[in-house]
Amino acid sequence: MGKRRKILSVVGTRPNFMKVAPIVSALQRREEDFEHVLVHTGQHYDAAMSEIFFNELGVGEPDHRLDVGSGTHARQTAMVMERLEPVLLAEHPDVVLVPGDVNSTLAAALVAVKLGLPVAHIEAGLRSFDRTMPEEVNRVVTDAISEVLFIHSPEAHEHLLAEGRSAELIHYVGNTMIDTLVVMRERIDALDAPARHGLPAGEYLIVTLHRPALVDGPLLRVAADALRAIARRMPVVFPVHPRTRARLLCEDATLADAPGLMMLEPVGYVEFLSLLAESAGVLTDSGGIQEETTFLGVPCLTLRENTERPITASMGTNLLLGLAPERIHDAPELLEEVRARKHRIPPLWDGEAAERIVDVLAGHPHAEESAAAIGV
């Protein structure tokens, strides 16, 4: 038997956990070939925002915790780099696996590449073409220094080629967030979260808001007023990110008492997806939710000027509203507009992305067959 390859994954935020969990499971199923090490940077440090994911997704406790917490972009990135370097020196993995586009992603990639360790980027090639978004900078830099680029949509392939990355480095494997959803679907459906919260299935709106462009300035007041108004027309469920809650209640302390509006503490993955699957639709500024709603066929109204996931708009159920919270007033009509469209699930969003990723990591050429079959 040959030497086992050591794969070290770095996670730090809720979406990271969902992207990595199915890969951890796939690596564990091939323990004769792989050893896996999990590092949690602590970028999301609230227990409800992170620890519950280790329990719900079956990832298990991290092998290393960096306990970075919140801070400015520079401070957070620097702290991850400083605390991760000795871990990488001690573990000396064959591949450092980084998901997504958060500060932990960029920091881990930079440390690894400076130590001469190969970096594999999950969800490579996504572009909003808006460099004012910190995530866009993180994506571009991480892709520029990664040796393995795992993509889940055709336009990502085009972006990476346009930026000079070699086609041999790009692997169209599918969407590991959808892998997690597929694996957890039975538990999601069995929970029946709407009934637990006294919500009429198919009639309520879910809201998630957290991006600085919307939360850190005057648009938040507009959003709060619109949410108060729309809650008089349909029930609104708002699991509130801790940072958003602090700013929102400073802006409008009475919003929590608005009739028809249910403001919740952050909920776990299974409960949130159970609420999402039975909703009339979602209002969000998140990236990952655009994908989950596309897979589930749930209308998604996105309060952003752009999206790094255009496939969710061209093939899926996503409608970009722009950075215009006043459009929340039209949510019922907009949801009907989206619901009337034809949509389909993007190629390779089939629950098997993690297996294809592990095939690539193992050097199996057949990992590319599915992508070749759809012309990428």
**Phi, psi of 50, rounded to the nearest 5 degrees:** -140, -55
Q: Which two tokens stand for residue 229?
A: 């108004």
Task: Check 44, 159, 210, 364 and give the catalytic one.
Answer: 210
Secondary structure (3-state) at 370: helix
Q: Catalytic: 210? A: yes
> 305 near 130, Cβ under 8 Å?
yes
What's the CA angle centered on 275, arms 272 and 281, to 5 degrees? 110
Residues 6+ apart with CB under 8 A from 123: 19, 99, 100, 101, 150, 151, 152, 176
| Residue 217 burial class via C-beta count within 10 angstroms: exposed 0-12, middle 13-18, buried 19 and up | exposed
The long-range contacts involving 251-258, CB below 8 angstroms and separated by at least 24 positions, are: 251/220, 251/221, 251/224, 252/221, 252/224, 252/225, 252/228, 255/224, 255/227, 255/228, 258/227, 258/228, 258/231
Strands 281-284, 300-302: pairing kind: parallel
Q: Position 109: which residue type?
A: A
d(C-alpha 266, C-alpha 37), whole Å: 27
For 1-69, the DSSP string reads --PPEEEEEEE-SHHHHHHHHHHHHHHHHTTTTEEEEEEE--SS-SGGGTHHHHHHHT----SEE----
The set of catalytic residues is 210
